[in-house]
Amino acid sequence: MSGAPKSDSVFLSAEWRRLVFLNYAVGPALLQGYVPRGTELDSFDGKTYITLVGFCFGSTRLFGRIALPFHSEFEEVNLRFYVRREVGSGVRRGVVFIKEIVPKPAIALTARFVYGENYVPLPMRHKIQSSPKGLDLEYAWKHHGTWSQIVASANGAEKRPGENSLEEYITEHHWGYSRQKSGGTIEYRVEHDHWPVRIASAARFEGDTIELYGEALGEALTAPPDSAYIADGSSVKVYRGARIP
């Protein structure tokens, strides 16, 4: 981690559980305008991906110890893509969030203030159905009076993603990059265990994305996902960010 600014101060600790990943291969030109300065667009096997992610926040604490009354358990749905940054002789692979939806206005305000992330507070709900036969997950949000949702189902047990697999590429990013209004970039570290995943047997998005993401991204999300995964998740730590050169 040498050769770049970093912070070892934990800003947020939490549980990220019951994660759903809906992955869409898109043209690189669709994302170039979102790439933060100091990073470059990443790809896997020649393809550029955006991912809709839904999950449950739990046991949320600031600075690793301060619980937030009525704000420790909530849903999040985000749209993200993948970048890379060369640091010395190594490469940091990270994510950039195009938009993040949470049901708590205070959470959205804090994230915008600390990291400059594009959080939006909207009414949300989720449904989890687990049985010996499999797992069904649903994350929904209400925008302009209409509910949209991502839905996924999986059978069988979780498995550790294979080395250099698409599953590993999608789930194992431990850096976040946020483009600031000033034109600079904030880099922050995200620490969590390796996540075993289930390959979704069925997955879909239902609703209107154009109002939230614009016509080009919204149209891309109307197609069936190219792949989809479910992960049980783990505890996480999100560290304070630092500006990069």
111 vs 94, residue with greater confidence: 94
Chain segment 165-191, per-residue pLDDT in tens: 999 999 999 999 999 988 899 999 999
Q: In this model, does residue 6 exceed pLDDT 80?
A: no
Q: Between 7 and 151, name the one with better pLDDT.
A: 151
Q: Tell me if 21 sits within 8 A of 171, measured CB to CB.
A: yes
> Cβ neighbours of residue 73 under 8 Å, at least 6 residues apart?
56, 57, 58, 59, 60
pTM score of the predicted model = 0.91
The number of angstroms, rounded, from the C-alpha of 209 to the middle of its chain's C-alpha atoms is 16
In this predicted model, what pLDDT tens digit does every residue of 72-102 receive, in sequence order? 689 999 999 999 999 988 999 999 999 999 9
pLDDT for residue 5: 43
Q: Where are the domains of the chain?
A: 10-243
Residue position matching structure tokens 């994660």: 19
Cβ proximity of 226 and 25 under 8 Å: yes
Which stretch, 67-71, 109-113, 116-120, has highest mean pLDDT? 116-120
Q: Please determine, for residue 26, whether its predicted confidence score (pLDDT) is greater than 60.
A: yes
CA pair distance 172, 193, nearest whole angstrom: 9
Residue among 94, 115, 97 nearest 40 (CA): 94
pLDDT of residue 99: 94
Confidence bin at 67 (pLDDT 50/70/90): low
Topology, domain 10-243: Acetoacetate decarboxylase-like (2.40.400)
> pLDDT band for position 43 (50/70/90)?
very high
Position 66 scores a pLDDT of: 59
Say if residue 18's pLDDT is above 60: yes
Q: What is the band of 2 on the pLDDT scale with cuts at 50, 70, 90?
A: very low
